[in-house]
Structure 1
Amino acid sequence: MGGASAGVRIERWAEGDLDLLRRLNIHEVREHTGGPETEEQVVARHARYVAGPGPGSGNMFTVVLPERVKVGSVGFWERVWHDEPVYEMGWAILPAYQGRGLATAAVREALALARAERTHRHAHAYPSVGNPPSNAVCRKAGFALLGETEFEYPPGRWMRCNDWRIALTD
């Protein structure tokens, strides 16, 4: 890791993290995932994150710098992809902190937790083909690119994305 990402930690999403979710709900962060959500959607998402881990809520974490500043989110949740139960992963970093390797470090931490659960054989990530930084995170975190696919996110909206996969078990 090294550099600015050294010492980055992830912490389980908590009740006090609603403000972080609101700060992540901006065009610069959400342009490849359907755009900003309404306040009602953000509050509902926060409630799901706090309720986790579990079905419907996943395993969500804040990305925390060594100086205790929360700068993003990372998580994994269950889905079925091509008839296989897998974890799907997602992340977001505040614009002022992007480009420092923080997302890659956070994804690696989340992958370690997903592996420790010994629940699924693979994790996938589906960044938009038009989102080079998120695709780079997948590559740097050790995912293998399986190819382009159509992916529904948010529900009712189809996007062209890359299907990245990483093994969670030997």
Structure 2
Amino acid sequence: MPDIELRAWSKDDLELLHRANTPELMDQLGGPENDEQVLARHERYLRLQREGTAHQFRIVIEGHPEGVGIVGYWQHESHGEPALEAGWSVEAEYRGQGIAPAAVIAMLEAARSAGESLPVHAYPRVDNPASNAVCRKAGFRLLGEERFEVKPGLVLQTNDWVVDLEPLARA
């Protein structure tokens, strides 16, 4: 696994969000957003972080303090039960290096350290082998396929992956 660091989302991360706003990376969310929508997403990340209902992180690797991707988790409901949902993206030139699985594993550890105990779900499209591989490598187990409404009116055929957050052992 590559050496990565997660840094809590901050006001300085707007440019990272702009760089992630590509057709390829935003495909699962219905396509790229306009500048106003990107700014609104950035403000939402900051607000939800302050409220403690979501935690987004900048993925940092050596030589790239500006970040090479985004990973995070937020409150979610799965089949009527409270849960967390995870999501991530890594910029194209940094893919295939193990950064996404390492970042997801680090994000799960951050959630455990923060006292989170709800199951964490991820919903990559069934035709997205890279994101499904990230789930497998990060220790998620596949529950099956599901039609998932990503945003109002946009329903995708996804895999429902889950990982249970076991409390950290106390020494």
1:24 is aligned to: 20
Structure 2: runs of 5+ lacking an equivalent: none
Taking the TM superposition and a 5 Å limit, the aligned residue runs for 1:1-170 are: 1=1, 5=2, 7-53=3-49, 58-67=54-63, 68-169=65-166
Larger deviation: 57-66 or 156-165? 57-66
Q: Report percent identity of matched pairs.
A: 45
Give the residue type in structure 2 aligned to 1:8. I
Q: 1:138 & 1:100 partners in 2: Cα distance?
A: 15
TM score, norm. by length of structure 2: 0.91
Equivalent position SS for 2:158? strand
Equivalent position SS for 1:53? helix
* 8 Å contact kept, 1:122–1:169: no
Return the offset for 1:30. Answer: 1.4
Return the offset for 1:82. Answer: 1.2
Larger deviation: 44-53 or 124-133? 44-53
Q: 1:63 & 1:36 partners in 2: Cα distance?
A: 20
Structure 1: runs of 5+ lacking an equivalent: none
Return the offset for 1:157. Answer: 0.6
CA RMSD of aligned residues (A): 1.6
TM score, norm. by length of structure 1: 0.91
* 8 Å contact kept, 1:61–1:74: yes
CA-to-aligned-CA distance 1:65-104 (integer Å, 9 cap, x gap): 1222410000000011112211100001111111111111
Tell me: CA distance 1:147–1:54, structure 2 relative to 1, closer, same or farther (3 Å). Answer: farther
Aligned residues: 166
Q: 1:145 & 1:76 partners in 2: Cα distance?
A: 18
Tell me: CA distance 1:111–1:151, structure 2 relative to 1, closer, same or farther (3 Å). Answer: same
Q: 1:54 & 1:164 partners in 2: Cα distance?
A: 27
Give the residue type in structure 1 aligned to 2:100. A
